[in-house]
Structure 1
Amino acid sequence: MSALEAVAILLAGFGAGMINAVVGSGTLITFPTLLWAGYAPVTANVSNTLGLVAGGVAGSWGYRGELVGAGPTLRRLLPMSVIGAAVGAVLVIVLPPGVFEAAVPVLIGVGAFLVVAGPRLQAAMARHRPAADGHGQTPGVALLVGVMLAGMYGGYFGAAQGVILIGLLSLLTTDPLQRINGYKNILATAANVVGALTFLVIAPDRVVWEVVGLIALGSVAGGIVGAAVGRRIPTTPLRIVVLVISVIAIVAFVTR
């Protein structure tokens, strides 16, 4: 790894940590950076998942104030995210590498679309549920299944998992957006933790620890900053950055 590549990965980790805390989709920053640095897709995905755990924890801690009284809901949602993530992480390893490589451009494209279309999708979802009362309610079957599927996606690849979770929670709960963002951080981080542990057990040879360390260091700083200023950062510029990087990543991936 050259000095330039190390700096790029560190900065990508910072950007991913910040974006994950505010919007979700940080993998669309780090994953293309790792591909640019020459890492194989599965190796990049595994190392990226491990590295982003630390940033997710930092972002989740920063939103702890929004989750006061949310324990009962989280106790029902967390197991679903964990189960889904474990299944998704196993699929990354047991399926032939060609399957993951073929899926990457599609997954990046879907993730980018969800990031860009997120506000419109959330607004449309909000029109179909009752007005938020701030007290929440017991998660229904649809939300539990949706969180499990989002966790599976997160364990397999993870880009824009946060956007998916925000959309689900906006549609199927009456909680205010800031609390929903807090839920999103916890659930997405749980999926990353499970994916990371699964990779460590069944594919330790795919882990590049210097990459994990750089992404972890950058994402912790980014998660702290993102959580601190999450209510003030305009999300539109962040979405544009993610879209541009995603397009570049897709082009670079299919023409390599």
Structure 2
Amino acid sequence: MDAFSLSHWIILFLAAAGAGAVNAIAGGGTLISFPTLTALGLPAVTANVTNTVALTPGYLGATLAQARDLAGQARRVWLLVPVGALGGLLGGLLLLWTSERLFRNLAPYLILLASGLLAAQPRVRAWVAGRRRDAAAPRHPAWVAAPIFAAAIYGGYFGAGLSVIILAVLGVTLDDDLTRLNALKQAIAFAVNVAAALFFVFSGRVVWPVALVMAAGAIAGGVIGGRVAGQIAPALLRRLVVTIGLSVGLYYLVV
């Protein structure tokens, strides 16, 4: 940390701002911020922990913006948000139990997985939006608890692409329109990130100067992203982030 120059701090702020803006518009900001941290020399586990803590405040705005679409979903929220939080805690615990060498080896595959999920996001949303009601499909929220818990474990462990997984699970297990399912997805993903971040806060693995600078950048980026969202094509931005993610993942596999 002492070796960080002013240019390094500027890079961290800009990377977090970019991640915050991308999350507000298209999702996948972790694919920008996490590789930046490792490129600047942070160990992979420490980078992931610090990144989670830094980016979590940026999710609050998106969750509040969709809160009104949670009306009438109280039973789902009271069941699935705690399930998501518990899964996020378990994922965070698994991350801290993972050795640096193992996580470094897993990182390329996690990045490539997240890139693939982000690339599939439009199709997942279109499928959920167009899915016909199936009389044989489970309607009670309890049916969705187990797959949401599994998704939340992944979210606490790494997190990029979590929203795509949650939306797909909700689309399979619940009969509702996309707007309401998207709001529920946002609430669950927020719970996962908050639970993991709170756990990491007390883990002793957060690099606080980095986290604070990045948190400021992520909040600023989220505000900017929210304001320009209507002027930037999410599909174009998504393709850019996917390209970055694939490039970084493949690079990590080679080096």
Q: Shorter-normalised TM-score: what interval? A: 0.7 to 0.9
Report the 3-state secondary structure (helix = DSSP H, G, I; strand = E; otherwise coil) of the residue aligned with 1:236.
helix
- 8 Å Cα contact 2:26/2:235 also seen in 1: no
TM-fit CA distance, 1:189? 1.8
Alignment correspondent of 2:154: 153
Would the alpha carbon gap of residues 114 and 127 (structure 1) be closer, same or farther in structure 2, given more than 3 Å must change?
same
Q: How many residues align?
A: 248
Which 5+ residue runs of structure 1 have no aligned equivalent? 132-136
Question: What amino acid does structure 1 have at the position aligned with 2:123?
Answer: R
Return the TM-score normalized by structure 2: 0.87
- 8 Å Cα contact 2:70/2:180 also seen in 1: yes
Identity across matched positions, percent: 35
TM-fit CA distance, 1:122? 3.5
Aligned equivalents of 2:83, 2:103: Cα separation in 1: 23
**1:33-72 alignment, distance < 5 Å:** 33-72=36-75
Report the 3-state secondary structure (helix = DSSP H, G, I; strand = E; otherwise coil) of the residue aligned with 2:72.
coil
1:237 paired with 2:236, answer yes
Would the alpha carbon gap of residues 222 and 139 (structure 1) be closer, same or farther in structure 2, given more than 3 Å must change?
farther
- 8 Å Cα contact 2:20/2:225 also seen in 1: yes
Tell me the C-alpha RMSD between the 2 structures: 2.3
**1:52-201 alignment, distance < 5 Å:** 52-130=55-133, 138-141=140-143, 143-201=144-202
- 8 Å Cα contact 2:69/2:183 also seen in 1: yes
1:14 paired with 2:17, answer yes
Which 5+ residue runs of structure 2 have no aligned equivalent? none
TM-fit CA distance, 1:160? 0.6
TM-fit CA distance, 1:227? 4.5
Q: Which moved more, 1:5-14 or 1:77-86?
A: 5-14
Q: Which moved more, 1:108-117 or 1:170-179?
A: 170-179
Return the TM-score normalized by structure 1: 0.86
